[in-house]
Amino acid sequence: MKSIIVDDEAAARAITKQLCKKVEKIVIVEEFDNAIDAIKYLNNHTVDLIFLDIHMPTFSGFDFIQTLKNPPQIILTTSDKNFALDAFEYECVVDYLVKPITQERFAKAVARIKNTSTGTRTHAEEAISQGEETAAIGNDLYVNIDRRLVKINVPDIYVIEAKGDYIKIKAEDKNYVVHSTLKKIEEKLPSHLFLKVHRSYIINTTKIVDIEDNSVLIKQDVIPVSRANRKELMQRLNLL
Amino acid sequence: MQLDIPNLHYIKELSDGDAEFEAHLIAILQKEFPTEKEAYIESIEEKNYQISAAHVHKIKHKISILGLEKSYEFAILYEEELKSETPSKHEMFLKILQNIEEFLLTL
Measured between CB atoms, which of A18, A57, A99 is closest to B61? A99
Percentage of residues of chain B with pLDDT beyond 90: 92
Predicted confidence (pLDDT) at residue A238 exceeds the cutoff of 80: no
Q: Which residues belong to CATH 3.40.50.2300 in chain A?
A: 2-111
- How close does chain A come to B54, measured CA to CA in Å? 8
Least CB–CB distance from A15: residue in B14, B32, B57? B14
Mean predicted lDDT score pLDDT of chain A: 85
Question: Collapsing DSSP states into helix, strand and coil, what is residue B6?
Answer: coil
Residue A121: what pLDDT? 41
Q: Mapped to the 3 state alphabet, what secondary structure does chain A carry? A: CEEEEECCCHHHHHHHHHHHHCCCCCEEEEEECCHHHHHHHHHHCCCCEEEEECCCCCCCHHHHHHHCCCCCEEEEEECCHHHHHHHCCCCCEEEEEECCCCHHHHHHHHHCCCCCCCCCCCHHHHHHHCCCCEEEECCEEEEEECCEEEEEEHHHEEEEEEECCEEEEEECCCEEEECCCHHHHHHHCCCCCEEEEECCEEEEHHHEEEEECCEEEECCEEEECCHHHHHHHHHHCCCC
Is A19–B14 a contact, with Cβ atoms under 8 angstroms apart?
Answer: yes
pLDDT tens by residue, A64-95: 998 888 899 999 998 877 776 677 778 899 98
So what's the ipTM on this one?
Answer: 0.92
Each residue's pLDDT tens digit, B71-103: 999 999 999 999 998 888 999 999 999 999 999
The pair phi, psi for residue A219, each rounded to 5°, is: 55, -120
For A82-96, b/e burial (b = at least 16 CB within 10 A) is ebbeebbebeebbbb
Give the model's pLDDT for residue A133.
57
Interval A22-71: pLDDT, tens: 888 899 999 999 999 999 999 889 999 999 999 888 788 888 998 888 89
Q: Residue range A162-175: average pLDDT?
A: 90
Model pLDDT, residue B63: 96
Percent of chain B past pLDDT 70, that is, above it, reads 100
Mutate to test the interface with A, among B9, B61, B78 (most CBs of A within 10 A): B61
Highest mean pLDDT among A97-106, A165-174, B24-33: B24-33
Find the chain A residues whose C-beta atoms sit closer than 8 A to any C-beta of B: 8-12, 14-15, 18-19, 22, 55, 57, 79-80, 99-100, 102-103
Nearest alpha carbon to residue A140 among A159, A161, A118, A112: A112
Query: Do the chains contact at B10 and A55, CB–CB below 8 Å?
Result: no
Query: Chain A closest CA to B61's CA: distance in Å?
Result: 6
B62 reaches A (C-beta below 8 A): yes
Q: Does B28 lie at the interface with A, CB-CB under 8 angstroms?
A: yes
Return the pLDDT at A116.
Answer: 55
Complete edge-to-edge strand list for the sheet that includes strand A215-218 = A208-212, A215-218, A221-224
B32 touches chain A (CB under 8 A): yes
Task: Report the alpha-carbon distance of residue A181 to residue A172 in Å, rounded.
Answer: 21
How close B91 comes to chain A (CA, Å)?
23
Q: Which of A19, A79, A100 sits opposite B57 (nearest CB)?
A: A79
Which of the four pLDDT bands, split at 50, 70 and 90, describes residue A112? confident
- CB-CB neighbors (< 8 A) of A11 in chain B: 25, 28-29, 32, 61-62, 65
Q: Chain B contacts of A103, Cβ < 8 Å? A: 13-14, 16
User: Class assignment of domain A155-236?
Assistant: mainly beta
Contact B64 A100 (CB under 8 A): yes
For residue A239, give every residue at least 6 positions away whose Cβ sits within 8 Å of its Cβ, in sequence order, or none. none
Chain B residues with CB inside 8 Å of A55's CB?
Answer: 54, 57-58
- How sure is the predictor about B30, in pLDDT bands with cuts at 50, 70 and 90? very high
Which band of pLDDT confidence, cut at 50, 70 and 90, is reported for residue A120?
A: very low
Q: What is the pLDDT of residue A118?
A: 37
At the topology level of CATH, where does A2-111 sit? Answer: Rossmann fold (3.40.50)
Choose the closest CB to B14 out of A9, A18, A55.
A18
Of the listed ranges A47-51, A108-112, A130-134, the least confidently predicted one is A130-134
Residues of chain A with CATH 2.40.50.1020: 155-236
Q: What is the pLDDT of residue A165?
A: 84
Are A11 and B64 within 8 A, CB to CB?
A: no
pLDDT tens digits for range A188-215 = 888 888 899 999 999 999 899 999 888 9
